[in-house]
């Protein structure tokens, strides 16, 4: 039941973004809205797959391929803000390439392992967390006057920071925890769902703020 609440709030976040889509000038924020919409449709479609085994397989394949796309969006979204770091361009493109290869391998050749999608997610979580931390570091080093609450990327970076910091433990180590204590693993995963709600709320705020910004704000 709780999972459906997370899905509903995620869908509401997409609808908010879609409603203000024409007023948002940042192209990568627009792509993030479309990506969230795609997630909503896929998760809805998975409910109609008749067998649990087929559903699990398709879910693993989809997320192994989707997570690298999501990370590539973050790379494109934050690369200009991280340009203050000389090595950022090469690091960002390199990590995006490594994750894409890892996602393809797990999605197409490593489906016998139940943790295939989790492994891809864990790698993406670490790298997305680093991006958010570098973004906040760039803010501290900036000499410009920045009104953070009016910056869409501030809200998105905050969402990444909290969501992936918690998800690295709750999701990344889910299978290991489950072997020790299924009750503890499930309880911890619920924390991850709460973080998912928090992320969707912050994304919604980012969309609202982006709709009020000038081009590429």
Q: What is the pLDDT of residues 187-208, one digit of tens each?
A: 777 778 888 999 999 999 999 9
Q: What is the DSSP letter of 150?
A: G
> Of the candidates 214, 207, 209, 216, which has an alpha carbon nearest to the alpha carbon of residue 19?
207
Would you state the pLDDT for residue 210?
Answer: 94
Helix (H, G, I), strand (E, B) or coil at 214: coil
Average pLDDT in the chain: 86
Q: How far apart are the first and last CA of the chain?
A: 38
Q: What is the pLDDT of residues 16-42, one digit of tens each?
A: 999 999 999 899 999 999 999 999 999
Residue 175: exposed, middle, or buried by beta-carbon count in 10 A (0-12, 13-18, 19+)? middle
Mean predicted confidence (pLDDT) in 122-138: 94
Q: What is the pLDDT of residues 67-120, one digit of tens each?
A: 999 999 999 999 988 988 888 888 899 999 999 999 999 988 877 777 788 889
Inform me whether the pLDDT recorded for 172 exceeds 70: no
Residue-level length of the chain? 217
Q: What is the DSSP letter of 213?
A: S
Rounded distance between C-alpha atoms, residue 122 and residue 35, angstroms: 19
| 65: its two tokens | 């391929």
pLDDT > 90: percent of the chain: 52
Confidence of residue 63 (pLDDT cuts 50, 70, 90): very high
Would you state the pLDDT for residue 52?
Answer: 76
Rounded distance between C-alpha atoms, residue 189 and residue 104, angstroms: 25
Inform me whether the pLDDT recorded for 65 exceeds 80: yes
| 207: its two tokens | 């969309």
Would you state the pLDDT for residue 62?
Answer: 92
Rounded distance between C-alpha atoms, residue 216 and residue 170, angstroms: 35
pTM of this structure? 0.88
Confidence of residue 3 (pLDDT cuts 50, 70, 90): low
Q: How many C-beta neighbours within 10 Å does residue 184 have?
A: 11
Inform me whether the pLDDT recorded for 215 exceeds 50: no
- Would you list the DSSP string of 70-95? HHHHHHHHHTTTTTTSTTHHHHHHHH
Rounded distance between C-alpha atoms, residue 48 and residue 26, angstroms: 35
């Amino acid at each position: 039941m709780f999972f459906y609440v997370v899905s509903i709030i995620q869908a509401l976040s997409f609808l908010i973004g879609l409603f203000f889509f024409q007023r948002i000038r940042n192209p990568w924020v627009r792509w993030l809205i479309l990506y969230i919409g795609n997630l909503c449709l896929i998760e809805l479609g998975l409910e109609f797959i008749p067998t649990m085994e087929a559903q699990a397989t398709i879910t693993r394949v989809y997320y192994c391929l989707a997570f690298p796309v999501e990370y590539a969006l973050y790379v494109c979204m934050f690369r200009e803000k991280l340009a203050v770091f000389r090595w950022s361009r090469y690091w960002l493109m390199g990590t995006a390439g490594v994750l894409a290869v890892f996602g393809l391998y797990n999605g197409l050749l490593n489906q016998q392992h139940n943790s295939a999608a989790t492994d891809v997610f864990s790698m993406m979580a670490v790298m997305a967390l680093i991006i958010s931390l570098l973004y906040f570091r760039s803010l501290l080093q900036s000499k410009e006057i920045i009104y953070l609450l009016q910056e869409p990327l501030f809200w998105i970076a905050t969402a990444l920071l909290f969501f992936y910091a918690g998800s690295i433990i709750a999701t990344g180590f889910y299978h290991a925890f489950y072997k020790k204590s299924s009750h503890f693993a499930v309880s911890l995963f619920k924390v991850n769902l709460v973080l998912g709600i928090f992320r969707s709320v912050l994304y919604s705020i980012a969309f609202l703020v982006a709709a009020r910004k000038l081009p590429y704000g």
